[in-house]
Amino acid sequence: MISREEVEHIAKLARLELTEKETEKMQKDLSAILDYFDLLKKAPKVKTQTVHAEKLIARKDEALLGDASCAEKLIAAAPDKKDDYIKVKAIF
């Protein structure tokens, strides 16, 4: 059984505010799900790993001309903005 403190810690890492009731239910649900994951302990070890790509290629660092109106739409979607900037709360 995962502890209440652990649930609170994970929620904090995930930047997720949980209510009292949610924390309780999460503790129960996560415990059941994590217990189910124990099944993987029975899985055999992997002998060979597939090679996904023969060679890794980084894409060229090019400046691609995009549609300027798209930039406006992206900014328009932000909840808080000023002119062409997205406003963010002070970190400290």
Partner 1 sequence: MDITTLTIKQAHEALKNGDFTSVDLTKAYLERIKKSDLNSFLSFDEEFALNQAKEADKQIKSGNFGMLCGIPCAIKDAIMVEGQKCTSASKILENYVAPYNATVIKKLFEAGAVILGKTNLDEFAMGGSGENSVFGPTKNPNDKTRVAGGSSSGSAASVAGNEACFSLGSDTGGSIRLPSSFCGVVGLKPTYGAVSRYGLIAFGSSLDQIGPIAKNVEDAKIVFEAISGKDKMDATSTDYKFENSETNLEGLKIGVPKEYFVKGIDPEVEKIIREAIKKAENAGAKIVEISLPSVEFALACYYIIAPSEASANLARFDGIKYGLSAPAENLLDVYLKTKGQGFGAEVKRRIMIGTYTLSSGYYDAYYKKAQEVRELIKQDFAKAFGKVDLIFAPVSPVPAIKIGERTDDPLSMYLMDIYTVSVNLAGIPAISMPAGKMAHSTGSGQTDLSVGLQIIGNHFEENKILSVAEQMEKLLK
Write down the residue that tokens 């994590």 correspond to: 34
Among 53, 56, 59, 60, binds partner 1 (CB under 8 A): 59
Selected binder of partner 1 within 20, 42, 62, 63 (CB under 8 A): 42
In whole angstroms, what is the distance from residue 1 CA to residue 77 CA? 42
Query: Which H or E run contains 23?
Result: helix 20-37
Q: Which of 53, 62, 70, 83: binder of partner 1 (CB under 8 A)?
A: 70
Axis crossing angle, helix 4-13 with helix 20-37, rounded to the nearest 10 = 100
| Residues of this chain that bind partner 1 (CB under 8 A) | 7, 10-11, 13-19, 22, 25-26, 29-30, 32-34, 36-37, 39-40, 42-46, 48-50, 59, 67, 70, 73-74, 76-80, 86, 88-92
